[in-house]
Structure 1
Amino acid sequence: MADSLYLFVGLGNPGDQYVHTRHNVGFMMLDALAAEQGAEVNRSKMQGRYCRLRLHGAQAILLEPQTYMNRSGECVRRFVDYFNIPLSRVLVLHDDLDLGCGRIKAVARGGAGGHNGIKSLVQHLGSADIARLKIGISHPRGVDGQGRQPVERYVLSPFSPEQRQQIEERLPLVQEAIRLFIQEGIGPCMNGINGRGAG
């Protein structure tokens, strides 16, 4: 673990119009993690915005692909190849509609589940064995409790103030997940994180 290089990928869309949207919760978490360390995700390379720092005794890159969500894998593949990072040291943070808002779930692998960013990662990395930290954004609900906002519009809409607070309150758990991932691996990370706090 000492001096090993880890890659933490936040998924989202570039551009000011997407900054506070639900689909950009991966970017939001990485920005908050960097700020906690007195850093900023503001360097540009290979179609990504990134920073390098030390986390829990290891070297880490925080990466926000700037290729738009459905092409995220292109940027991530470049970073994996350029820095020679094994997939076992890659953790992807992304939104998940099937989890209540603010719920955090670590997984070792799996299909895309309709998430275009994950679909692109699997395609370009050639494997579904990619550790992920899912951040719940909940399903869209109609105002009258009957109709539902289309998913595409919902994920590209800003969080409500209440949801934003729920997400921000989960930052310590995300930090703990990253510590466990670095120090012990994805298995202990799953055991230590999943089920803590329902959303």
Structure 2
Amino acid sequence: MSRSPSNSTIRNFSSSISNEESLVSPKPKQQQQHPWLIVGLGNPGKQYNGTRHNVGFEMVDAIAEAEGISMSSVNFKAHFGKGFIGNVPVMLAKPQTFMNASGQSVGSIVSYYKIPLKQVLVIFDDLDLPFSKMRLLPKGGHGGHNGMRSIIDHFKGSRIGRPPGKMDSVNFVLRPFSKQERQELGFTFQQGVEAVRILLLEGFNKAATFVNTAKPMEQLS
């Protein structure tokens, strides 16, 4: 119709809406979902790229690539990115404070976003498991790892094996991987990405089962 409705029609329409709404209970507000914080530990600088001590950085990069999350911003003294894994909000961080001061960066992120410690996942190298073997832990101590020593005791990790013979541990962890190790490591990163997805979407127990039953690459070839 080209003619505007009368004022009385508008008033009646408004009052009918008000009466209808008074009979409907308001919907409860949905509780905001806290994001997960996924941290990879390592040292900044080209001289540390590709070394054993920086597998935490590489694992976070693998997650970012798989999930389409940009890590181009720098916040909280870290390379930082936000996105989703499935419908779960996540933050990815690679602290740039050097390994031994990682807690400065991680602590700032956790405090600012009020992230529950049970939703902080820290990925780091460790000497106590064979190369390319992962372990998922709900909590624990630092185990002598200086990066973990400066963060929190709520962690899960991927580990790299002890040095051969009498080689000094510091020299060992700062060495690059061999060509064969690099190939195996790529396969391990794929498993790690899947483990993180399961952890966030299906819970710790299913993720731990996946990690503990995952076969090394050589057993699948």
**Band the TM-score falls in, shorter-chain normalisation:** 0.7 to 0.9
Query: What is the RMSD of the two structures over their aligned residues, measured on CA atoms?
Result: 1.8
Greater fraction strand: 1
Are residue 105 (structure 1) and residue 135 (structure 2) matched?
Answer: yes
Q: How many Å apart are 1:155 and its aligned residue?
A: 0.5
The aligned residue for residue 183 of structure 1 is 201
Q: Do 1:12 and 1:26's aligned partners in 2 also have CA atoms closer than 8 Å?
A: yes
Any idea what SS the aligned residue of 2:161 has? coil
Query: Aligned partners of 1:12, 1:174: CA distance in 2, in Å?
Result: 17
Q: How many Å apart are 1:174 and its aligned residue?
A: 0.8
Tell me the amino acid that sits aligned with residue 166 of structure 1.
Answer: E
Q: Do 1:29 and 1:171's aligned partners in 2 also have CA atoms closer than 8 Å?
A: yes
Point out 4+ residue stretches in structure 1 off by more than 4 angstroms: none
Any idea what SS the aligned residue of 2:60 has? helix
The aligned residue for residue 122 of structure 2 is 92
Alignment of 1:1-199 (within 5 A): 3-122=33-152, 128=153, 130-132=154-156, 134-141=157-164, 147-198=165-216
Query: Aligned partners of 1:50, 1:30: CA distance in 2, in Å?
Result: 10
Query: Aligned partners of 2:43, 2:184: CA distance in 1, in Å?
Result: 21
Tell me the amino acid that sits aligned with residue 6 of structure 1.
Answer: W
Q: Which has the higher Rg, Structure 1 or Structure 2?
A: 2
Q: Do 1:9 and 1:93's aligned partners in 2 also have CA atoms closer than 8 Å?
A: yes
Query: Aligned partners of 1:114, 1:181: CA distance in 2, in Å?
Result: 26
Greater CA drift, 150-159 or 164-173: 164-173
Relative to the length of structure 2, the TM-score reads 0.79
Query: Aligned partners of 1:9, 1:191: CA distance in 2, in Å?
Result: 22
What's the CA shift string for 1:93-141, capped at 9, x where partnerless?
111111111111100111111111111113xxxxx2x131x22312111
What's the CA shift string for 1:35-92, capped at 9, x where partnerless?
2233332211111111111112111111001111111111100000111110111111
Q: Do 1:101 and 1:135's aligned partners in 2 also have CA atoms closer than 8 Å?
A: no
Q: How many equivalent pairs are there?
A: 187
Q: How many Å apart are 1:166 and its aligned residue?
A: 1.0
